[in-house]
Amino acid sequence: MNSDPSSEDESSMSSRTPLLSIGLAIVAVLIVPVFLYSVGPDGPMKVGDVVFATDRHRVRMMASDSDEVGTPAAMCVLEPRVQLVVQQMGPPSEGSMIAEPVALEKAGPPFCPPRMPVLVYGHQVTLRPDLWGGLRDTLSHFFAGR
């Protein structure tokens, strides 16, 4: 019988060491693709693509797929990371497109109603959602206790 407590501590510490390295490897495998996806280039946008608002933008609502509404009340606000489906591309020199918001968190004025075509420009939307902003919002809601 070996009653040396130091030999038992060494054996238990050596058995825990691989778990830490395996855990770090799993975290790296999960984080690296997210990082590469978020820094990769955007491709060209085309009809039928789902795009995401880059920030809070004031956009013009459309009466139909091609006619602008001429009243000042025809403006609405898109929230960051709102999903839009591209319905029609404008001239390449303008970089504009007509898209319909599909996933809205807020409804009612001044926010854009769902399925109402809006006129957006290339600098207002991206093909990839803002993963870091979404993660930040999720963590802030979690820690705020909402």
- Asked whether residue 143 is assigned to any structural domain, the reply reads no
pTM: predicted TM-score of the whole model, two decimal places? 0.62
- Asked whether residue 30 is assigned to any structural domain, the reply reads yes
pLDDT of 34 reads 76
Is the same domain home to 58 and 107?
A: yes
**How many domains does one find in the chain?**
2
pLDDT of 68 reads 52
pLDDT of 32 reads 86
- In contact, 116 and 100? CB cutoff 8 Å: yes
pLDDT of 12 reads 55
Is the same domain home to 9 and 80?
A: no
Is the same domain home to 36 and 5?
A: yes
- Asked whether residue 145 is assigned to any structural domain, the reply reads no
Is the same domain home to 54 and 126?
A: yes
Residues in Cβ contact with 69 at an 8 Å cutoff, skipping those fewer than 6 apart: 60, 61, 62, 63
* Angstrom distance (rounded) from CA 32 to CA 38: 10
- In contact, 42 and 128? CB cutoff 8 Å: yes
- Asked whether residue 139 is assigned to any structural domain, the reply reads no
* HEC secondary structure over 75-103: EEEECCCCEEEEEEECCCCCCEEEEEEEE
The range of the structural domain enclosing residue 3 comes to 1-40
Residue that has been written with the tokens 């489906």 in this structure: 85
Is the same domain home to 59 and 9?
A: no
* pLDDT (tens place) for every residue of the chain, 146 residues total: 555 555 555 555 555 678 888 989 999 998 888 777 777 667 788 888 888 888 888 999 887 544 454 445 588 888 888 889 999 888 877 888 999 988 777 777 788 888 889 999 988 888 877 777 767 777 777 788 65
